[in-house]
Amino acid sequence: MKTVEKSLVTELYNHQNIYQNLSVAQLVEKILNRNEGMLTSTGAVCASTGKYTGRSPGDKFIVNDEVSKDIIDWGKVNQPIAEEVFDHLHRKVIDYLNEKDEIFQFKGFAGADERYRLPIQVINEYAWHNLFARQLFINPKEDELKNHQAEFTVISAPDFKADPSIDGTNSEAFILISFKKRVVLIGGTEYAGEIKKSIFSIMNYLLPERDVLSMHCSANVGAEGDVALFFGLSGTGKTTLSADPYRRLIGDDEHGWSPNGVFNIEGGCYAKGINLSEEKEPQIFNAIRYGSVLENVVLDAKTRIADYDDISLTENTRAAYPLENIDNIVIPSVAGHPNTIIFLTADASGTLPPISRLTKEQAMYHFLSGYTSKLAGTERGVTEPQATFSACFGSPFLPLAPSKYAEMLGEKIDMFDSNVFLVNTGWTGGSYGYGTRMKLSYTRAMVHSALEGELNSVETTKDDVFGLEIPMHVPGVPDEVLIPKNTWLDKAAYQEAAQSLALKFQKNFEKFTLASNDIKQAGPLYKG
Q: Classify each residue of 373-408 as buried b or exposed e, where b means 16 or more C-beta atoms within 10 Å of its C-beta.
A: bbbbbbbbebeebebbbbbbbbbbbbbbbbbbbbeb
Q: Kindly report the backbone phi and psi dihedral angles of residue 426, in degrees, each rounded to the nearest multiple of 5, phi listed first.
A: -85, -130
What gap in Å lies between CA 190 and CA 81, rounded to an integer? 22
Give catalytic residue positions. 55, 197, 216, 234, 238-239, 253, 318
Which three-class secondary structure string do you get for 255-274?
A: EEEECCEEEECCCEEEEECC
CA nearest neighbour of 271 among 248, 251, 298, 299:
251
Q: Is the dihedral of CA 247, 253, 254, 256 positive or negative?
A: positive
CB of 330 closer than 8 Å to CB of 250: yes
CA nearest neighbour of 399 among 170, 79, 136, 81:
79
Tell me if residue 508 falls in helix, strand or coil. helix
Tell me if residue 254 falls in helix, strand or coil. strand
Cβ–Cβ contacts within 10 Å for residue 328, how many?
Answer: 14
Tell me if residue 363 falls in helix, strand or coil. helix
CA atoms within 13 A on the CB side of 317: 21
Cβ–Cβ contacts within 10 Å for residue 445, how many?
Answer: 16
What gap in Å lies between CA 360 and CA 433, rounded to an integer? 34
Which three-class secondary structure string do you get for 125-192?
A: CCHHHHHHHHHHCECCCHHHHHCCCCCEEEEEECCCCCCHHHHCCCCCCEEEEECCCCEEEEECCCCC
CB of 367 closer than 8 Å to CB of 343: yes
